[in-house]
Amino acid sequence: MKIATWNVNSIRTRQEQVVNWLNHNPVDVLCLQETKVIDENFPRSPFESLGYNLYIYGQKSYNGVAIFSLKPLEQVIMGFAPVLTIEQVGNVDEQKRVITGVVDNIRIVNLYVPNGSEVGSDKYEYKLSWLKLLKDYLRSLLEKPPYNLCVCGDFNIALEDRDIYNPKNKTNHIMASPAERQALQDILDLGLADAFRKFISEGGHFTWWDYRQGGFTRNRGWRIDHHYLTPQLYEQATNCIIDISPRELDKPSDHTPVIVEF
């Protein structure tokens, strides 16, 4: 079984690239982020024609997540609210960033973690509070069957220095600040492990490159898209790879897909 994650930076702009990629990489599940479209305008048919069941949770212009699955998903939940209390969630679900469903005894959680803008900004504080809410959400899901979780998506955090092309002077940089890393580590302490690091220890492997200043051609990248697994799934993982080929195309997303295999 293969589960992929890909921030496509607009599904309508990237539709053809995603179809082509799925034709060459017929993964069982594809988790998408930044679809940037309301559900009624989502281009469903190109993907349904490939045999996928679509579960989409979008909004106008910003954010938006979706799961494509060859097998139908069970227990699909959109947003935090159905899992947590109204008091906890407040208005956080106005931004569509979380969708989950179950297939083959695995609960797949697809996330688009807030960017955070600049360290110390209001959006940065929102990111940190969102991550606290995510921890409560995941703790709740871990208490229910099927217990096996694959938490994947665009985390907008490089957990370690080896996940950044040049980690110097990044303590005050978004995606690498100590508070962000600690917030993510607190979540992993629930009992989740990085699938990619089971197989590859060295640095120099990235999933996002800035559009500006030739980020990709100079390989100035960051590894911010992840699969985090509960222990049994982690043991069962047989591979985890980053496919940089979509990033080489004309008009690419700034992210590229990551695939875990069981």
Partner DNA sequence: ATGGCCAACGAAGTTGGA
Residues that bind DNA (CB under 7 A): 7, 9-10, 12-13, 34, 36-37, 60-63, 114-118, 123, 154, 156, 174-175, 208, 210-214, 222, 224, 251, 254-255
Distance (Å, rounded) from C-alpha 233 to C-alpha 110? 16
* Minimum gap (Å) between residue 14 Cβ and DNA: 7
Instruction: Please give the structure tokens belonging to residue 17.
Output: 């690239």
Q: Which is nearer to DNA, 7 or 110 (CB)?
A: 7
Non-local (6+) Cβ contacts of 226 within 8 A are: 5, 152, 153, 155, 159, 194, 195, 196, 258
Q: Which is nearer to DNA, 73 or 258 (CB)?
A: 258
Distance (Å, rounded) from C-alpha 257 to C-alpha 154? 10
* Minimum gap (Å) between residue 114 Cβ and DNA: 6
Pairing of strands 208-209, 221-222: antiparallel
Contact 78, 99 (CB under 8 A): yes
* Minimum gap (Å) between residue 38 Cβ and DNA: 7
Contact 120, 107 (CB under 8 A): no
* Minimum gap (Å) between residue 79 Cβ and DNA: 17
* Minimum gap (Å) between residue 150 Cβ and DNA: 20
> How many degrees, rounded to 5, is the angle at CA 53 between CA 45 and CA 83?
125
Contact 8, 18 (CB under 8 A): yes
* Minimum gap (Å) between residue 245 Cβ and DNA: 17
Q: Which is nearer to DNA, 24 or 212 (CB)?
A: 212
Q: How many CB atoms lie within 10 A of CB 68?
A: 24
Q: How many CB atoms lie within 10 A of CB 187?
A: 22
Q: Which is nearer to DNA, 60 or 132 (CB)?
A: 60
Q: Which is nearer to DNA, 103 or 176 (CB)?
A: 176
Q: Which is nearer to DNA, 24 or 251 (CB)?
A: 251
